[in-house]
Amino acid sequence: MKKPVTKTFAGSRIRHQRSRAGMTQSALAQRLQVSGSYLNQIEHDQRPVPPRLVSALCDIFSVGADYFSDTEEARGTQALREILTDPVFNAGAIGLDDIQAAMRAAPDLCAQFVRLYRAYLLRQEQATPALTGNVSFRPLADDAPDRVEPYEAVADWVQAQRNYFDEIDRVAERQAASIRLDEGRPVEQLSHYFLDHHGIRTAIDLDMGQRGLMWRLDRRARTLFLSEGVPSESSMFWMAQALGQIEHRTLFERAIRRSPLREREAKGLARVYLTNYFAGALLMPYEAFRQAARDLRHDVERLQRHFGVSFEQVCQRLSSLQRPGHEGIPFYFLKTDIAGNILKSFSANRFTQSRFGGPCPLWNIFRAFSTPFQVQVQLSRTTDGAVYLNVARTVGRSSLSYFDRPRLTAVVLGCSIADAGHLVYSAGLDLNDPKMIIPIGPGCRACTRENCRHRALPMVGHSLDTGNGEHGVMPYRVTS
């Protein structure tokens, strides 16, 4: 399938980097070997950035190629489109071109508008119990500058970092080499490392699982307790987490200090995230993992066996391969439960899930729940015209007893159709057949596909025609 040609407008980002470097427009034009008037047009989004200039800009400002892509603009545009479907704005007349123009001209202002809308939603949720006549309204704390839920603030920060933390990744890669985790059984090697370097032994706690704990470090007893009855990959990952907390807390704190996070709970969640990030980077060292992924054509199950980790851990690691100059395929990764609640979400490409509404039911991540632990492959097209190859599967443990109720979740890993040939999952698919592509969208309120049989709500911002003269896929039609 022919890759659609997209024009990249990055004027504000070029101006920002040029100002940071203390460089005049004429000086940058000279280094790029273009005229000053041509660069001025690029910086004011009157012309797109030609591909030949992207690599030169990356070299000059020491940033990755994705910095000048329109990925963040597309993500922000989608968020604004969803927000403006809220009836409180009565904004049906605001078109996509106007929203994109706003994102290009004032991306920071648009980001603050998204934050403001989140705060509005939080207020609405807090006030909802008032309908029952049984509520105390809790105002937003004055000392909570994030004005959003802590987990949302952390998710935004991780997304802004492209789910890649270079310093932590490199430290983990060096430590994996020094421990020689690729030789023998990693669980035993980590156990020996804890004992030899910290005097900490590992032991199984038979009752820990009943208390909802996975691992616990008892510093007084110098023992790392692990829950029983779990796969070896889980024990290994927990040990890697504990190692990160013991040896690299200062490294995590340094990354958090450089972040925009100021609220205590958000910092705590960021610390948890970085601990998990370190564990994944330790067990799947960057270059070794990137090379193996390429050699195995990103076959997640083969990568599982190669590194002794879980399906979910492989998918999440694949989404973080964004080391400048050594990037892997830009994937998006998402984890959800059966009710559609988004538990994790990272994207290194243009893809963005619905931020203020439910995900599309046509997405294969939901079909995965009907075939537990079997891989589902799908070609999909989003409302912005981008086509993705999506790989979805349920993850989680099996029941330990009749009364056990394990949580069943699913993950989806997706890449652009342009990269699909590098994945084993493209085998047998006709990538050039448009009938193979499933149209998916954001929440129904913001989705522009009128004749979707799976639509639950009408598009907001349009009048409804409920005349009885004819009856279509939906019991109404929308008019402009």
Angle at 299 between CA 297 and CA 302, to 5 degrees: 120
**344 bridge partner residues:** 335
d(CA 300, CA 374): 12
476 pLDDT band (50/70/90 cuts)? low
Using alpha carbons, list the distances in angstroms from residue 189 to 12, 180, 197, 204, 283: 49, 8, 12, 17, 12
Query: Nearest Cα to 365, choosing from 339, 346, 384, 383?
Result: 339
Using alpha carbons, list the distances in angstroms from residue 253 to 259, 273, 275: 10, 12, 11
**Mean pLDDT estimate for the chain:** 83
Q: Would you say residue 105 has pLDDT above 90? A: no
8-state DSSP, 2: P
Q: Would you say residue 100 has pLDDT above 80? A: no
- Mean pLDDT in residue range 78-96: 72
267 and 151 in contact (C-beta within 8 Å)?
A: no
Q: Would you say residue 138 has pLDDT above 70? A: no
Using alpha carbons, list the distances in angstroms from residue 431 to 30, 348, 388, 426: 42, 22, 10, 8
Burial of 478 per CB tally in 10 Å (0-12, 13-18, 19+): middle
d(CA 48, CA 35): 15
Of 475 and 365, which is predicted with more confidence? 365
* 223-227 sheet: strands from edge to edge: 201-205, 223-227, 215-218
Half-sphere exposure of 442 toward its Cβ, with a 13 Å CA cutoff? 26
Helix, strand or coil for residue 23?
Answer: coil
Query: What pTM was estimated for this model as a whole?
Result: 0.74
Q: Would you say residue 116 has pLDDT above 90? A: no
8-state DSSP, 474: S
Of 310 and 102, which is predicted with more confidence? 310
Q: Could you read off the pLDDT of 355-398 as tens digits, one per residue?
A: 666 778 888 998 999 999 999 999 998 877 788 999 999 998 77
Query: Nearest Cα to 367, choosing from 341, 345, 394, 389?
Result: 394
Element (H, E) at 337: strand 332-337
Q: Could you read off the pLDDT of 274-331 as tens digits, one per residue?
A: 999 999 999 999 999 999 999 999 999 999 999 999 999 999 999 999 888 899 999 9
